[in-house]
Structure 1
């Protein structure tokens, strides 16, 4: 019985991470703004390659890396591959729709797919949910796939080597804040002044 209740508690905890709010929907129609030390653009292939302290923004999305390649398909969907450097991993951040929460993560490489609305973090991957500015949930592994539309993610550890070692997945989840609020009770006016017994 104790094992079943532990499993139910764990399932409820993981379920709290998959809340109904998805990524900021307005981001899809926002233009991409880019900053970098250098930019190479190929209009025929619809590919931009940026190098050196790259910062890419698209609505609430912020992407940073040493190198970023952005391409656009014939239907107008945008894709980005972000690579960090030895000192700083690639970085991604996006506001969640309708709540004061952000999803952010890092990895040696990040792949953003505008059509599928997914973000993949590769090698030393880390994904965090922030409620306001407070860390709420965190997962780490060799790779993390975050699906914006369904607000789901999957985490994989590093494959086992010939020596039998491999990376493991780690996670930290905090309970979802209670929806009950402590509202102030309004005072009722009184038409009488009570006498004190002194």
Structure 2
């Protein structure tokens, strides 16, 4: 029989490695044009293929959107985009994207977001939190110092540390809250176990 302390460290170790959530984004988003707009004047450097915008920046690419205080977008020689977004003072940068074929969205926030269109990944760094929403209901949630979302592999990787410390997480540990897969026997059983007054 495994002690509760051993179970705790086993779970913590597993969370430090990776968490697989069903989270494939709209496939067509990867090939859409990237649009950037902001409140303040921006800089477009055609020679070096760099775009820098500040002030309530909104980046959109199909169903994907990033909102930040500042964003820098670089185009690689092979035509892909790498975007780095920073939150505004007192606010985090945010990300939202629809999942393929279902009424679900991936939403996340962090002090810094890094989007790589070639690898089809987004890295959330500093007070990072990512949620999968079924409609408006949170199905799964992951938080930590750094979260990497690999859309192609449908994989989240999360790590803890000092930059994960928030009022709700004073220890900076990684955390995941996972719901049963929708329309599964486990989800039906969980729904029937909820008292009627507690349902939303």
Deviates more, 1:82-91 or 1:122-131: 82-91
Query: What is the aligned residue count?
Result: 169
Say if 2:135 is the partner of 1:132: yes
**Structure 1 segments of 4 or more deviating over 3 A?**
14-17
CA distance in 2, matches of 1:166, 1:134: 27
Say if 2:178 is the partner of 1:176: no
Say if 2:173 is the partner of 1:153: no
Larger relative contact order (CA 8 Å, sep ≥ 6):
2
1:141 to 133, 138, 144: 144
Q: Which SS does the other structure have where 1:99 is aligned?
A: coil
Rg comparison, structure with higher value: 1
Provide the aligned C-alpha RMSD in A: 2.7
Q: Which SS does the other structure have where 1:176 is aligned?
A: coil
Report if aligned partners of 1:17, 1:173 keep a CA contact under 8 Å in 2.
no
Q: Pairwise mapping of residues 177-196 of structure 1 onto structure 2 (< 5 A)?
A: 177-178=182-183
Q: CA deviation at 1:125?
A: 0.3
Report if aligned partners of 2:19, 2:156 keep a CA contact under 8 Å in 1.
no
Say if 2:109 is the partner of 1:121: no
Q: Which SS does the other structure have where 2:42 is aligned?
A: strand
Say if 2:23 is the partner of 1:31: no
Q: CA deviation at 1:132?
A: 1.4
- Post-superposition Cα deviations, 1:71-121, rounded to whole Å, max 9, x if no partner, equal 111211111000002321000111111221111100000000111110000
TM-score by length of 1: 0.77
CA distance in 1, matches of 2:19, 2:84: 30
Q: Which SS does the other structure have where 1:28 is aligned?
A: helix
User: Which residue of structure 1 aligns with residue 58 of structure 2?
Assistant: 55
The unaligned stretches of length 5 or more in structure 1 are 181-198
CA distance in 1, matches of 2:124, 2:19: 22
The unaligned stretches of length 5 or more in structure 2 are 164-169, 186-200
| Higher helix fraction (1 or 2) | 2
